[in-house]
Structure 1
Amino acid sequence: MRLPRLLLAGMLLSIAVFLLSALFAPPASRSVGAASVAVFVPLWYCLSALNAGLGMASGIRVADRIVDFGVMFSLPVLASLVMWWVSESEWEGGPVLTTGRTPVMLTAGILLWAAVTLLVAVLAPGVADRARSRGATAAFLPLWSLVCGANALLGVFAAGYTWREELLIMVANLSLPTAVALLAPWALKHRRNGDVAEYGAESREPAA
């Protein structure tokens, strides 16, 4: 299940990068797809190389790691290139989002959190679940805070919003992804405790 989770993380990350590129692009920009590819491909290459290196360090054959690297790297990159092609063919290099930005921003945040969570879970297999959840949260929250801060600065200096208006927007953009990142580990733990209790109750039932 390692490779499918990595591929899913790559797909989610590529979509999040594309959405953020559309949000951060200047109004006259015609290079949203190209910008998203320029950001995503080097980032995903580094993550793919890290995964391959960790696999070889754990004793997996080099040939197997090379195959996994090729699959892990190529499919999400292909998805990113497809989004670039759609951007060029359907939106003339866009879309540049100037209205309805908050729902798109929240969607990008949730996708980014999901990608980070999957990556931490796969790249740290020997770590306890609770530690992995905390690690994913610790990695996501500063990253998302920086994204929201950059969006606020863009709103003030490029779009003409006041600091007060952008502060409210920033709080809204931070709220849902942060809540998901903080509550998801608790929900997972609660569910697992319930499953363990149910299994224990079933095991104590007398056989018919």
Structure 2
Amino acid sequence: TAAGPALLDRAARAAGARLVQVPTDYVFDGHADRPYAEDAPILPRSAYGRTKASGEWAVRAGAPDHLVVRTAWLYGAHGGCFPKTIARVAAEKGGLDVVADQVGQPTWTADLADLVERLVASGAPAGTYHGTSQGRTSWHGFARAAVAAAGLDPAIVRETTSEKFVRPAPRPAYSVLGHEALRAAGVERIGDWAARWEAAAGSVLA
């Protein structure tokens, strides 16, 4: 909902701080065939996506100096995440099916935190930015990379479709986000997802 971000905005202004809101790719419908620009129309397909969109609107309405940093497909060393789960299930079962018809940008939480810090430190103009890795892959492609990093044969990851894995909140089929606003602000983008996964895998799968 918009209530939480609105309260954070009020607290940030009282403290003289800059508010950074971090929504997700769920604000988009996932029907695009090219990276979503920062100013692309917001068309969430689920209640979850609508709450993320309402949070964005609340911040824009109440915080003139806001930073909205959309992200997607996050993974990290702390807590559960997709590559940890995939590596564990692959080791336990000797194989698994992963959807190949959803495309996005796997993004390391450490990279996202670093990007937000650099945006704030640079005094980047208020507005919307995309905090995801460059490049793109499917969940199936990411699963194969995770399994390979765990020392297993990536061939044990089989392709399947979204129809066989129905989720309460339908995930956008296409979640590739563009980074033109970062370029315009002179802020370095996060690197390619495959290179960043290679750097992150040891700590994430430890």
Higher share of residues assigned helix: 1
Q: Answer yes or no: same fold by TM over 0.5.
A: no
TM-score (norm 2): 0.30
TM-score (norm 1): 0.29
